[in-house]
Structure 1
Amino acid sequence: MYTTSIAIQVLPDITEMDKICAIVDHVIEYIDSTGCNYMVGPFETTIEGDFETLMSIIKRCQEIPVELGAPSTKSYVKIFHNPNGVLTIAEKTDKFK
């Protein structure tokens, strides 16, 4: 049971589209490396897990773009937290596949 679902859109403060895409790819690779369940969408990536773990992932997602040369980064984050559990990505989207 997941207690938290977070959607994050990371926007490195760079104008070159190829660099933006490369940095976002690194962020997604990091999310993948965490072992959390996630789904990449066209505007944001949704991650499921426990609140503390996901918040540390969100923090790291802010650091990666700067480490890769972006002077700064902006992120849009949506958080749904319920100690009794949240609907999973699959429960929300499988009916549309």
Structure 2
Amino acid sequence: MAEALVSVQILPKTKQGEDVIPYVDAAIDVIAQSGVKYEVHPLETTMEGELDELLHIISLMNKRMMELGSTNVISQVKILYQPSGITMAELTEKYR
């Protein structure tokens, strides 16, 4: 069972003020390629796994934004760390 849930919102600053959606799509692709369980929501994406791995994925997401031409990136991150185990399903089951 996962020990952490991490939600992240990536806000890249683009060189010419162009639409950020392709950048956000690329950031989500970094998550998808990692193989961790994740859910995309309107304002953030939540990942489930080991805390160190999830923080590393956020680092890779930021680096990808730079590769695409961002001049800087703001990453808003929320972390639920529960070493005894936690899943997205457990946390939201009463709402489904």
Aligned to 2:88: 89
Q: Name the SS of the counterpart of 1:84 in structure 2.
A: coil
Structure 2's unaligned 5+ residue stretches are none
C-alpha distance in 2 between matches for 1:77 and 1:63: 16
Q: CA RMSD in A?
A: 1.2
Aligned to 1:73: 73
Aligned to 2:59: 59
1:94 CA drift (Å): 4.5
Structure 1's unaligned 5+ residue stretches are none
**What is the TM-score when the length of structure 1 is the normalising length?**
0.89
What is the total number of aligned residue pairs between the two structures? 94
Aligned to 1:8: 8
The reply to whether residue 22 of structure 1 matches residue 19 of structure 2 is: no
Letter in 2 for 1:45: T
Q: Name the SS of the counterpart of 2:39 in structure 1.
A: strand
Structure 1: which 4+ aligned runs deviate by more than 6 Å? none
**What is the TM-score when the length of structure 2 is the normalising length?**
0.90
Give CA deviations for 1:6-52 in whole Å, capped at 9, x if unaligned.
000000012222xx100110110110111100000000000000111
1:96 CA drift (Å): 3.6
C-alpha distance in 2 between matches for 1:93 and 1:84: 17
What percent identity do the matched residue pairs reach?
Answer: 37
Letter in 2 for 1:76: Q
